[in-house]
């Protein structure tokens, strides 16, 4: 592996297999042709035009769209879709980088509809006399996704109706027992964005990177069963583990590479420097 | 003005007025149709094909291409092009984000050929007990470009054959009398990229952002006539001046906005946060 390999691994989407879908003039996401043929084409909910799929314009409010979509998705679930991953957790569907919210959608369905998701990913670090250290959690071996992999100190999906910082403070309490007054001090310092494909699913995701300097005498503690254990690693060990292995969950590598860059650990004259920095923030449609 | 306005002002290019030009299979830059008609079409140096202009393939080494291009550009200069801006300074022409270097080109011609340029832009800051401060230079009133405007602490174009960090250390000495041992400590922490058009010229530029923490008792001093004066400003004054005015040279605003983000001065929940972060790093061809 290399830093660029992690970026390529996250940006593995073949957009030519997808068609966009729209709510009015707004592109809301992307549908894989095979999923569209199987689940969308005869649903009566979407009309196919030259530029992609269009949600029934009679659904003219976010509430109507959300309710109709929910009923449709529950039908898909009955036919065996989403398996154990249905969460009863609503995500916002919004035009890329835009407002307002077009509707909400069950989290498990979001990547099937190629809807941009995101959430806070926080690196909790300690400045010790012997150098920078990072608190590294290992995901619970019971989690349905990426069990046992290494993760960002605190990270979570972004539910509808919550601010990013508010959500981070909540996750800091749940995942790492970081008290609210300490979690509040986390700073939003970057964005990492990628276009990831997994089978028929597309994740054009944007993660908001937070840094939080933690006091030396604070030890994060798993609180909600999502984390198996925390270890405090010298930043150089994190750097080498990211660079040389796939031990971290795939997208967490990008958040850590961004941390390494912002903390001055890469040389501007490294041959991959521009490609890495450009690749960490693929906000726009790849060509 | 707003932060987004500065990003839009830098990304003002209308690519539909330009055609790419190639060296073999590599896109080297872009030519405005009017400039191409006037200077390129009958030059014998380029052939027009469906996908753009192709440099004569008989020029099969960087040296041959550079020498022929130089003779051609000197001819343009004789016909009144480039005016007082001819520098006798060679820039590298390289495929975007790629290697190897295809040829060198006189700096003054680079934006006429829509060739990506760049260079180090450094923010020199001081951590005082009363908060972060930034050293802000005002450009000399004698400079041919952007006289009297505010600038990044140290910034320079990137000449061929020099490393970015090496170039920064040189510029730190020339522009601000920062001794080499101190300048060496600057860290490359980000990239800022934009697509700027000025008349028939295109700058698809990438600036490498460096941070350098300076000791409280160090005062930068103009050394080469490029800087009129340095002032130490509280970061909040820099923040407000960038946000509300056009006193800084247009692209320097982006480097400072990137600094503000990395130093935790923007909220993740500000409505423009994703648009700003995405807009600061427009590495790829806008659609």
CA dihedral B68, B74, B78, B79 (to 10 degrees): 60
Phi/psi for B46 (5° steps) reads -125, 150
Q: For residues A78 and A39, is the Cβ–Cβ distance under 8 A?
A: no
List of chain A residues whose C-beta atoms are within 8 Å of the C-beta of residue B271: 99
Alpha helices in chain B (DSSP H): 3-10, 33-35, 62-78, 164-176, 180-183, 235-244, 252-262, 273-279
Q: What pLDDT was estimated at residue B26?
A: 93
pLDDT band, very low/low/confident/very high, at B70 (cuts 50, 70, 90):
very high
Q: For residues B207 and B251, is the Cβ–Cβ distance under 8 A?
A: yes
Q: Which residues of B touch A (CB under 8 A)?
A: 97, 99, 120, 163-166, 168, 187-191, 193, 206, 208, 210-211, 261-264, 266-269, 271, 273-275, 277-278, 281, 283-287
CB count in 10 Å sphere of residue A26: 14
Q: What pLDDT was estimated at residue A96?
A: 64
Q: What pLDDT was estimated at residue B230?
A: 97
Q: For residues B8 and B23, is the Cβ–Cβ distance under 8 A?
A: no
Cα-to-chain-centroid distance, residue A136: 18
Nearest chain B Cα distance for residue A80, angstroms = 36
Do the chains contact at A165 and B278, CB–CB below 8 Å? no
Q: For residues A175 and A223, is the Cβ–Cβ distance under 8 A?
A: yes
Nearest-by-Cβ selection for B165 from A165, A211, A268? A268
Q: For residues A136 and A100, is the Cβ–Cβ distance under 8 A?
A: no
How far is B195 from B203, CA to CA, in rounded Å?
A: 6
In chain B, pLDDT over 70 holds for what percent of residues? 98
For helices B252-262 and B3-10, what crossing angle results, to 10°? Answer: 140
Q: Containing H/E element for B28?
A: strand B26-32
Nearest-by-Cβ selection for B268 from A164, A263, A283? A164
Cα-to-chain-centroid distance, residue A281: 13
Look at the alpha carbons of B99, B102, B104, B108 in this order and tell me if their dihedral is positive or negative: negative
How far is B182 from B204, CA to CA, in rounded Å?
A: 31
In chain A, pLDDT over 70 holds for what percent of residues? 98
Per-residue pLDDT tens over the stretch A20-67: 999 999 999 999 999 999 999 999 999 999 999 999 999 999 999 999
Helices and strands counted in chain B (H then E): 8, 14
* pLDDT at position A84 over 80: no
**Checking DSSP bridges between strand B18-23 and strand B26-32, what pairing results, if any?**
antiparallel
Q: Which residues pair with A244 in a beta bridge?
A: none
DSSP state at residue B225: S
Per-residue pLDDT tens over the stretch A187-230: 999 999 999 999 999 999 999 999 999 999 999 998 888 899 99
Q: Give Cα separations from B43 to A257, B59, B179 (angstroms).
A: 46, 14, 47
How far is A30 from A115, CA to CA, in rounded Å?
A: 7
Question: CB-side exposure of A275: number of CA atoms within 13 Å?
Answer: 16
Q: Give Cα separations from A134 to A22, A214, A237, B20, B127 (angstroms).
A: 42, 9, 9, 45, 23
**DSSP-assigned letters across all residues of B130-155:** TEEEEEEEEE-TT-SSSTT-B--SEE
Mean pLDDT of chain A: 94
Q: For residues B229 and B139, is the Cβ–Cβ distance under 8 A?
A: no
Nearest-by-Cβ selection for B165 from A164, A211, A267? A267
Per-residue pLDDT tens over the stretch A157-177: 999 989 999 999 999 999 999
Per-residue pLDDT tens over the stretch B88-139: 999 999 986 557 899 999 999 999 999 999 999 999 999 999 999 999 999 9
* pLDDT at position A98 over 70: no
Q: What pLDDT was estimated at residue B286?
A: 55
How far is A120 from A151, CA to CA, in rounded Å?
A: 13
Q: Give Cα separations from A126 to A106, A153, A215 (angstroms).
A: 37, 12, 6
- Closest B-chain CA to A98: B275
* pLDDT at position A101 over 90: yes
Question: Which of B119, B255, B274 to mutate to test binding with chain A, by most A CBs within 10 Å of its CB?
Answer: B274
User: Is B103 in a helix, a strand, or coil?
Assistant: strand
| Long-range CB contacts for residues B126-130, cutoff 8 Å, separation at least 24 | B126/B213, B126/B214, B126/B215, B126/B216, B126/B232, B127/B213, B128/B216, B130/B234
Nearest chain A Cα distance for residue B273, angstroms = 9
List of chain A residues whose C-beta atoms are within 8 Å of the C-beta of residue B260: none
pLDDT band, very low/low/confident/very high, at B85 (cuts 50, 70, 90):
confident
Q: What pLDDT was estimated at residue A97?
A: 59
List of chain B residues whose C-beta atoms are within 8 Å of the C-beta of residue A95: none
DSSP state at residue B250: T
CA dihedral B267, B271, B272, B273 (to 10 degrees): 40
- Burial (CB count within 10 angstroms: exposed 0-12, middle 13-18, buried 19+), residue B197: buried
How far is A47 from A26, CA to CA, in rounded Å?
A: 15
Nearest-by-Cβ selection for A97 from B208, B264, B274? B274
How far is A189 from A126, CA to CA, in rounded Å?
A: 17
Q: For residues B7 and B280, is the Cβ–Cβ distance under 8 A?
A: yes
User: SS3 letters for chain A?
Assistant: CCHHHHHHHHCCCCHHHEEEEEECCEEEEEEEHHHHHHHHCCCCCEEEECCEEEECCCCCCHHHHHHHHHHHHHHHHHCCCCHHHCCCCEEEECCCCCCCCCEEEEHHHHHHHCCCCEEEEEEEEEEECCEEEEEEEEECCCCCCCCCCECCCEECCCCCCCCHHHHHHHHHHHHHCCCHHHHCCCEEEEEEECCEEECCEEECCEEEEEEEECCCCCCCCCCCCCEEEEEEEEHHHHHHHHHHCCCECCCHHHHHHHHHHHCCCCCCCCCCHHHHHHHCECCCCCC
């Amino acid at each position: 592996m290399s830093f660029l390999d992690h970026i390529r691994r996250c940006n593995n989407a073949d957009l030519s297999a997808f068609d966009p879908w729209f709510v009015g003039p707004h592109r809301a996401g992307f549908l894989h042709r095979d999923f569209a043929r199987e689940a969308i084409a005869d649903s009566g909910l979407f009309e196919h035009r030259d530029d992609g799929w269009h949600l029934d314009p009679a659904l003219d409010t976010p509430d109507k769209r959300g309710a109709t979509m929910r009923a449709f998705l529950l039908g898909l679930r009955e036919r065996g879709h989403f398996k154990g991953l249905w969460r009863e957790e609503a995500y916002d569907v919004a035009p890329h980088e835009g407002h307002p919210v077009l509707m909400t959608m069950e989290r498990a369905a979001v990547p099937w509809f190629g809807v941009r998701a995101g959430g806070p990913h926080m690196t909790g670090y300690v400045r010790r006399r012997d150098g920078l250290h990072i608190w590294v959690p290992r995901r619970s071996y019971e989690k349905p996704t990426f069990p046992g992999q290494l993760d960002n100190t605190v990270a979570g999906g972004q539910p509808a109706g919550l601010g990013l910082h508010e959500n981070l403070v909540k996750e800091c309490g749940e995942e790492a027992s970081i008290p609210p007054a300490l979690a509040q001090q986390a700073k939003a310092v970057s964005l990492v964005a990628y276009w990831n494909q997994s089978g028929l699913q597309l994740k054009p995701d944007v993660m908001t990177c937070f840094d939080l300097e933690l006091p030396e005498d604070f030890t994060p503690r798993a609180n909600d069963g999502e984390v198996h254990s925390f270890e405090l690693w010298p930043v150089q060990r994190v750097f080498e583990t990211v660079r040389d292995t796939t031990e971290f969950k795939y997208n967490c590598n990008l958040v850590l590479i961004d941390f390494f860059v912002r903390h001055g650990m890469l040389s501007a004259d490294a041959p991959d420097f521009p490609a890495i920095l450009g690749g960490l923030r693929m906000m726009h449609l790849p060509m």
